[in-house]
């Protein structure tokens, strides 16, 4: 028995007929059918039960309550005359003897109908999130999240990982995104930072002799929202292993994740180990992205030779990539609409042509094809009714990736949607040329071990090797076109670490200053170690089949990183600012 209830609203069945029971919950609906008869739907966390009010006094009482008031109903279970097979408790109903108001809803009008809250404007849903969460469909996502986290925790403990919590208040560290800063009252002018990830702490745990660590870790990054990224905070299954290689990390993930996806996912088919491995540069060349959705069978090819001497200026002298879509039944209008969608997403222009029923090249830019033999050499099994969508120029790779995703979903037979397809993206470049600086910078994670170790860095330093050709021992885990995680074999050697940073114009003193604890710890004998951190939010989003990550977060922020329910961020008092030695100056736009 919980509080004043004898049963939940999803518990009573035919075997309970005749029993005296007591239920509590929200008054979802009241429907009068004439006379002194009304049907009341009572809802709690677990489900709903029908209450039949046949007493004039009780009816007058409940008619004074607004919907969503919380009430207690005490009465007798009886068999329903008109059963509802769609409702778990649809064979029975309660005839009340007593109804008690527990918590009055003081508003006649709700901001939205509870059971249809997902159709409401998102700003209203976020402002009244506590009402939105009463919707069983919304609540189901949060329950799913809880169950997935419990299953992940159990699986990690089974693999002998220790769950260790790491600090929330720490030092600001360059990790690729903006920090959230927290002023230190006892240290005027200095700031803590909320961790973008427990990266340094988990590596320090490895140097401390903890062999296997994991944590359902909160991470904080001041970055813009996307469909698969929530601003402010997110959670990840953070893990690290000492004396481990890439293969050890892969083995753990391939053992832990497929059963959870198969059990809790919208689809019950998940990739079995070993997951497919694709080198980063190969992924870009073949799929136009480092996050390929392997449920789609389309790929891209370089067809520059086909348009080498074309009279069509947008393709002349450009790298041209093609995505061939066999047995395509799209009309010209549909093709051009989808290409427009691709152009919006990629920022570059797309083109097309196709083969007709006879195999002849028709439509779009077909008349500008100079070397048809080159096309047929690239596609020796070229079939009738094949659509070619093209991308050209500097954005050709990105555009071809968008075309694969867009047309793969739109063209029948090219996407096996109801499954989870995992893959590893490996061999990321260690360095790149920065768009703003024009100089050599770390491409991804500066803590990754370069393939070839110190030797390859020394060759780059001496000019014997292009540093852009150095690969990092880094990997991403991708599922259905969504990046779940980045990971790496870590750079645990201070000498290699310093040399890696020297290539981006940071010396040993800079490394000591930026990463003092890690540098010093590594000088005391650090074990080789590797790790990864799959995103919990993205994982649950995939399992629930949702398009927006906000649907699986209990209290999400909006796209502008505002909590409209709590009014955050908000102003604070002058006294609070004075205690923190902070002065707020007017913004230029004010």
DSSP codes of every residue in 504-523: TT--HHHHHHHSHHHHHHHT
529 Cβ neighbours under 8 A, 6+ residues apart: 203, 206, 240, 241, 242, 243, 244, 489, 490, 492
- DSSP strands (E only) in 266-308: 276-279, 300-302
Tell me how far apart the alpha carbons of residues 503 and 405 are, in angstroms, rounded to a whole number. 37
Residue with tokens 């046949």: 54
Distance CA 114, CA 28 (A): 8
pTM to 2 decimals? 0.92
Nearest to 287 by CA among 178, 404, 378: 404
Q: How far apart are CA 442 and CA 447, in angstroms?
A: 10
Nearest to 371, CA basis, from 383, 382, 361, 363 = 361
pLDDT in single tens digits along all 590 residues of the chain: 456 899 999 999 999 999 999 999 999 999 999 878 999 999 999 999 999 999 999 999 999 999 999 999 999 999 999 999 999 999 999 999 999 999 999 999 999 999 999 999 999 999 999 999 999 999 999 999 999 999 999 999 999 999 999 999 999 876 667 899 999 999 999 999 999 999 999 999 999 999 999 999 999 999 887 767 788 899 999 999 999 999 999 999 999 999 999 999 999 999 999 999 999 999 999 999 999 999 999 999 999 999 999 999 999 999 999 999 999 999 999 999 999 999 999 999 999 999 999 999 999 999 999 899 999 999 998 899 999 999 999 999 999 999 999 999 999 999 999 999 999 999 999 999 988 889 999 988 888 999 999 999 999 999 999 999 999 999 999 999 999 999 999 999 999 999 999 999 999 999 999 889 999 999 999 999 999 999 999 999 999 999 999 999 999 999 999 999 999 999 999 999 999 999 998 766 54
| Pairing label, strands 320-325, 387-392 | antiparallel
For residue 243, is it left (φ>0), alpha (ψ between -120 and 50) or beta? left
Residues 59 and 53 sit within 8 Å (Cβ to Cβ): yes
- Residue 228 has a pLDDT of 72
Q: For position 1, what pLDDT does the model report?
A: 43
Say if CB 523 and CB 569 are below 8 A apart.
Answer: no
**422: alpha, beta or left? (left if phi > 0; alpha if psi -120 to 50):** beta
Cα–Cα–Cα angle for 79, 85, 90, rounded to 5 degrees: 35
SS3 487: strand
Residues 495-526, buried b or exposed e (16+ Cβ, 10 A)?
ebbbbbbbbbebeeeebeebbeebbebbeeeb
Query: What are 440's two structure tokens?
Result: 């050599």
Q: H or E element: which one contains 33?
A: none
By DSSP bridging, strand 276-279 and strand 422-429 are parallel
Those residues with Cβ within 8 angstroms of residue 569's Cβ, 6 or more apart along the chain or in another chain: 561, 562
Helix H or strand E encompassing 238:
strand 232-242
Cβ neighbours of residue 578 under 8 Å, at least 6 residues apart?
Answer: none
Largest CA distance in the chain: 95
**Beta bridge pairs of residue 30:** 40
| Contact call for residues 378 and 301 (beta carbons, < 8 A) | yes
Angle, helix 136-158 to helix 536-544, in steps of 10 degrees: 130
pLDDT of 175 reads 60
Helix (H), strand (E) at residue 27: strand 20-32
Which residue in 32, 80, 81, 67 sits closest to 53, CA to CA?
Answer: 32
pLDDT at residue 3, rounded to an integer: 60
Could you read off the pLDDT of 310-338 as tens digits, one per residue?
999 999 999 999 999 999 999 999 999 99
DSSP 358-400: TS-EESTTGGG-S-HHHHHHH-TT--TT-EEEEEESTTHHHHH
Residue-level pLDDT at 381:
87
C-alpha to C-alpha distance for 388 and 176, rounded to whole angstroms: 38
Rounded Cα–Cα distance for residues 290 and 301 (Å)? 16
At 345-381, the pLDDT tens digits run 999 999 999 999 999 999 999 999 989 999 999 999 8
Beta bridge partners of 76: 20, 95
Yes or no: say if 293 and 421 are a contact pair by the CB < 8 Å rule. Answer: yes
Query: Around 228, how many Cα atoms within 13 Å sit in the side-chain half-sphere?
Result: 19
Q: What domains can be seen in the chain, in order of their start residue?
A: 14-103 (2.40.50.140), 296-410 (3.30.1360.30), 422-527 (no CATH)
């Amino acid at each position: 028995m919980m509080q004043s209830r004898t049963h939940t609203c999803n518990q009573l069945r035919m075997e309970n007929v005749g029993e005296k029971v007591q239920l509590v919950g929200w008054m979802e609906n009241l429907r009068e059918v004439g006379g002194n008869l009304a049907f009341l739907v009572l809802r709690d966390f677990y489900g709903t039960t029908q209450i039949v009010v046949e007493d004039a006094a009780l009816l007058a009482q409940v008619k004074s309550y607004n919907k969503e008031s919380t009430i207690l109903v005490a009465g007798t279970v009886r068999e329903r005359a008109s059963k509802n097979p769609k409702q778990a408790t649809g064979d029975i109903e309660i005839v009340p003897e007593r109804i008690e108001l527990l918590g009055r809803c003081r508003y006649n009008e709700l901001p939205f109908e509870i059971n249809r809250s997902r159709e409401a404007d998102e700003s209203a849903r976020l402002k009244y999130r506590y009402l939105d969460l009463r919707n069983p469909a919304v609540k189901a996502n949060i329950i799913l999240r809880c169950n997935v986290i419990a299953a992940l925790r159990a699986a990690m403990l089974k693999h002998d990982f220790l769950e260790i919590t790491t600090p929330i208040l720490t030092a600001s560290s360059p990790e690729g995104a903006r920090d959230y800063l927290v002023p230190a009252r006892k240290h005027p002018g200095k700031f803590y930072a909320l961790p973008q990830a427990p990266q340094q702490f988990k590596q320090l745990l490895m140097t401390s002799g903890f062999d296997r660590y994991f944590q359902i870790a909160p991470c904080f990054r001041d970055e813009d929202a996307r469909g698969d990224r929530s601003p402010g905070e997110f959670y990840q299954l953070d893990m690290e292993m000492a004396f481990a290689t890439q293969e050890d990390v892969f083995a753990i993930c391939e053992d832990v994740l497929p059963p959870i996806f198969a059990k809790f996912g919208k689809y019950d088919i998940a990739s079995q180990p070993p997951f497919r491995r694709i080198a980063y540069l190969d992924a870009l060349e073949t799929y136009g992205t480092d996050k390929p959705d392997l449920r789609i069978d389309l790929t891209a090819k370089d067809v520059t030779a086909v348009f080498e001497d074309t009279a069509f200026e947008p393709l002349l002298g450009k790298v041209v990539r093609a995505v061939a879509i066999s047995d395509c039944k799209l009309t010209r209008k549909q093709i051009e609409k989808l290409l427009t969608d691709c152009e919006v997403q990629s920022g570059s222009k797309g083109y097309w042509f196709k083969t007709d029923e006879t195999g002849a090249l028709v439509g779009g830019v077909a008349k500008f094809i100079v070397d048809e033999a080159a096309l047929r050499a690239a596609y020796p099994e070229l079939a009738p009714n094949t659509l070619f969508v093209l991308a050209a120029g500097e954005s050709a790779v990105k555009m071809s990736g968008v075309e694969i995703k867009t047309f793969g979903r739109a063209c029948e037979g090219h996407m096996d949607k109801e499954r989870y397809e995992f893959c590893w993206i490996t061999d990321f470049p260690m360095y790149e040329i920065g768009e703003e600086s024009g100089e050599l910078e770390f491409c991804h994670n500066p803590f990754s071990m370069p393939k070839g170790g110190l030797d390859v860095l020394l060759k780059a330093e001496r000019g014997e090797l292009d540093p852009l050709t150095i690969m990092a021992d880094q990997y991403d885990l991708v599922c259905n076109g969504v990046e779940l995680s980045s990971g790496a074999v870590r750079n645990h050697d201070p000498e290699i670490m310093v040399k890696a940073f020297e290539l981006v114009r940071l010396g040993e003193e800079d490394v000591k200053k930026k990463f003092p604890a890690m540098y010093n710890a590594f000088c005391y004998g650090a074990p080789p170690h590797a790790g990864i951190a799959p995103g919990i939010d993205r994982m649950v989003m995939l399992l629930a089949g949702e398009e927006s990550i906000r649907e699986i977060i209990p209290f999400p922020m909006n796209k502008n990183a505002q909590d409209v329910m709590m009014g955050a961020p908000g102003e604070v008092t002058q006294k609070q600012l004075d205690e923190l030695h902070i002065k707020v100056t007017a913004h230029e736009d004010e």
